Amino acid sequence: MICVIGGAGYIGSHCVKRLLERDHKVVTLDNLEAGHRAAIVGGEFVQGDYTDRQTLDTLFTSYPIECVMHFAAYASVAESMTDPAKFYRLNVVGGYTLLEAMRAHRIPYLIFSSSAATYGEPRQIPIPEDHPQQPTNAYGETKRAFEQMLRWYDVAFGLRSVSLRYFNAAGADPEGQLGEDHHPETHLIPLVLLTALGKRPVLKIFGTDYDTPDGTAIRDYIHVTDLADAHILAAESLKGGAPTTAYNLGNGLGYSVREVVRTAEEVVGHPIPQEEAPRRAGDPARLVASADRAKRELGWQPQYADLRTIIETAWRWHSTHPDGYGDRL
């Protein structure tokens, strides 16, 4: 059985769905602080906090868990700069509590949601896994810190793990059942589509003077269902004896903010109100993954790599769920 911590969140919920489709037994642990009850499409559900050892002890005694997939973390880069304590408390101290409980209950495998933010300002593009990890924000630092803990928990205790460094998670369940619903929303694609729906007045383009062909920042958008599939492959690899490691998950393709907006206009069929705005603090000009290792070693093959497809799936969700899951109105 697989325990999905944060399985009511954006990426976690897509992973639960994919696991169930592949006949895995799943138990989701989520405190619903940011997650949505309606996003858990099946399996068992326990509402609770993974930072609470008692909750973990009960969960790990009640279910025959072999692998934990850990999605639950604070992820706002901006907030991490004003309240790093909050990020260390959940992402690092909470992570320590989880690892100690896994150790005590002899749960052998963990898949961890890491981030391209662990690299900091890129020195080369595309970014390979052995690129130096020098985060430029506290969020990335907490993800890096937990990756380091994982390394030593393997050396000393034999707990094996895969850290998956996501680039820009995007899109929604191709069947339209699940989507992205953050409060507040800060990500580009949902904001573009909510603006197209008239739920937001105007899309601000943060920075038009970057050293890129059209002056706007370039990111590597990767479909959330492709991320989910990589988790399942990573879990299978650990079970097959693979060592602790980390993989980048991206498409290796960069799209600028203007390209995203233009493609979204094609998908929705009308212009989207937009205005130029100053750069957002801490945003690098380009982040593009080299994901060759995940493809080679895990046999991962993204199915929804094309930007238009990613935006079409997101549009299907937003246009049919203009208030998201409707539980935070």
Q: Which is nearer to ligand UFG, 208 or 309 (CB)?
A: 208
Q: Which is nearer to ligand UFG, 2 or 261 (CB)?
A: 261
Q: How far is the CB of 75 from ligand UFG (least distance, A)?
A: 5
Q: How far is the CB of 136 from ligand UFG (least distance, A)?
A: 10
Q: Spell out the residues 6+ positions from residue 155 whose beta carbon is closer than 8 angstroms to its own.
A: none
Give the interface segment with ligand UFG, choosing from 33-41, 58-66, 110-118, 291-299 (CB under 6 A). 110-118
User: What is the size of the binding site for ligand UFG (CB under 6 A)?
Assistant: 22
- Catalytic residue, chosen from 10, 109, 139, 221, is 139
Task: Say how far apart CA 186 and CA 10 lie, in whole Å.
Answer: 13
Q: Which is nearer to ligand UFG, 116 or 232 (CB)?
A: 116
Tell me which residue of 150, 125, 66 sits closest to 254, measured CA to CA.
125
Q: How far is the CB of 319 from ligand UFG (least distance, A)?
A: 19
Is 91 a binding residue for ligand UFG by CB under 6 A? The answer is no
Q: What's the gap between Cα 93 and its chain centre?
A: 20
Q: Please, which of residues 285-314 interact with ligand UFG by CB under 6 A? A: 287
**139 part of the active site:** yes
Q: How far is the CB of 86 from ligand UFG (least distance, A)?
A: 15
Q: Which of 26, 159, 257, 307: binder of ligand UFG (CB under 6 A)?
A: 257
Q: Please, which of residues 166-225 interact with ligand UFG by CB under 6 A? A: 167-168, 186-188, 191, 203-206, 217, 219
Q: Which is nearer to ligand UFG, 217 or 268 (CB)?
A: 217
Q: Which of 3, 56, 77, 249: binder of ligand UFG (CB under 6 A)?
A: 77
Q: Which of 111, 117, 235, 238: binder of ligand UFG (CB under 6 A)?
A: 117
Q: Please, which of residues 125-144 interact with ligand UFG by CB under 6 A? A: 139
Q: Which of 22, 280, 296, 328: binder of ligand UFG (CB under 6 A)?
A: 280
Binding site for ligand UFG (CB under 6 A): 75, 77, 115-117, 139, 167-168, 186-188, 191, 203-206, 217, 219, 257, 280, 283, 287
Enzyme catalytic residues: 139
